[in-house]
Amino acid sequence: MYRFDFSILGGSTIPVLADGMLVTLEITATALAAGMLIGAALAILRGSRWRAAAWLAAAYVNLFRSVPLVMVLLWFFLVVPQLLQSALGLSPSVDVRMASALVAYSLFEAAYFSEIIRAGIASVPEGQMDAARALGMPRLLAMRLIVLPQALRNMAPMVLTQAIVLFQDTALVYVSALADFFGQAYGIGERSGRLVEMLLFAGAVYFAISFSLSLAARRLGQASPAVRGTASAAARG
């Protein structure tokens, strides 16, 4: 019988774990916000009359949805950092690892959010857009003021579900030199020889947080069947 020893938890390890959790939350929040913004732009572009733009947006979404997140992270961590720094004009005092991780997650999630948003937009009756255009509103304005707000309400549960998935996926930042909650827990476990305890502890923490959030998502109301049908095809792992 394995002799459990959870004494490693406490003292110097708690601040380290807390730091890790901060990294996890920072990545989740940023990728959620940026992903939604970029995703919305992509969703709108895909419906645009300008064929080139629509095609590019579709290509982007299909590309990022066809490759593992692990590969995207490796790309941004090992190959791209300097490009990133000059492209975004970041001052090098910014931690390049965090910057690459944030960009990687945001770009990746944007593809998935764009599908959810598209489903959300599709769930808003066409009459709304037609009425807005009839009133003389340009398409983009109609999108912003009329369609998107309603779409967002419809797809809120799907967005929250995807956010929970994103929260769990932050554990993959293990491939880069950045230590999130899981990375710190694992490192402590490995160096102290108490890997079993730390892994079980990490699993429990993730479960507690994800489960509560998913209960909240369910509380947000059952999505209307129209959205659920199309959007569940959009949902990913």
Partner 1 sequence: MYHWHWGIFLSPTGTGETYLGWLFSGLGLTVALGLVAWLLALVLGAAVGIARTVPNRVVRALAGAYVEVLRNVPLMVQLFTAYFVVPELLPPELGDAVKRMNPVAQQFLAAALCLGLYTSARIAEQVRSGIESLAGHQRSSALALGLTLPQAYRHVLLPLAFRIILPPLSSEFMTVFKNSAVASMIGLLELAAQGRQLVDYTSQPYEAFIAVTALYLALNLSALRVMRFVEAKTRVPGFATAK
Partner 2 sequence: MRPILALLALALAVPALAEDLEGTLKKVKEHNLIVIGYRESSVPWSYLDGDQKVVGYSHEVALKIVDAIKAELKMPDLKLREIPINAQNRISLMQNGTIDLECNGTTNTSERRKQVAFSNTIAFTQTQLLTKKKSGIKEFEDIAGKTIAVTAGTTSEHYLRKYADEHKVKLNILATRDHSQGFLMLQTGRADAFFMDRDVLGSLLARAQDKADYVITGQPQTKEALACMLRKDDPQFKALVDRVIAKMQTSGEAAKMYDKWFMAPIPPDGVVLDAPLTKEMKELYKHPNDQSFD
Under rule CB under 8 A, which residues in 77-116 are in contact with partner 1?
Answer: 78-79
Closest to 64 (Cα-Cα) out of 6, 96, 25, 103 = 103
The minimum distance between CB 169 and partner 1, in angstroms, equals 7
CB atoms within 10 A of CB 216: 12
The minimum distance between CB 203 and partner 2, in angstroms, equals 18
Determine the Cα–Cα distance for residues 198 and 220; give it in Å rounded to an integer: 33
Under rule CB under 8 A, which residues in 119-178 are in contact with partner 2?
Answer: 176-177
* Residue 66 in contact with partner 2, rule: CB under 8 A: no
The minimum distance between CB 96 and partner 2, in angstroms, equals 5
> Based on CB atoms, which residue is closest to partner 2, 141 or 177?
177
* Residue 203 in contact with partner 2, rule: CB under 8 A: no
* Residue 61 in contact with partner 1, rule: CB under 8 A: no
Question: How buried is residue 193: exposed, middle or buried, by Cβ count under 10 Å (0-12/13-18/19+)?
Answer: exposed
**Of 47, 53, 214, 220, which lies in the binding site for partner 1, with binding defined by CB under 8 A?**
214
* Residue 171 in contact with partner 1, rule: CB under 8 A: yes
Q: Where are the beta strands (DSSP E) in the chain?
A: none
Answer for the pair 96, 84: CB distance below 8 angstroms, yes or no: yes
* Residue 187 in contact with partner 2, rule: CB under 8 A: yes
Determine the Cα–Cα distance for residues 113 and 124; give it in Å rounded to an integer: 17
Answer for the pair 170, 24: CB distance below 8 angstroms, yes or no: yes
Q: Which residues bind partner 2 (CB under 8 A)?
A: 12-13, 16, 77-82, 85, 91-93, 95-97, 176-177, 179, 187, 190-191, 193, 195
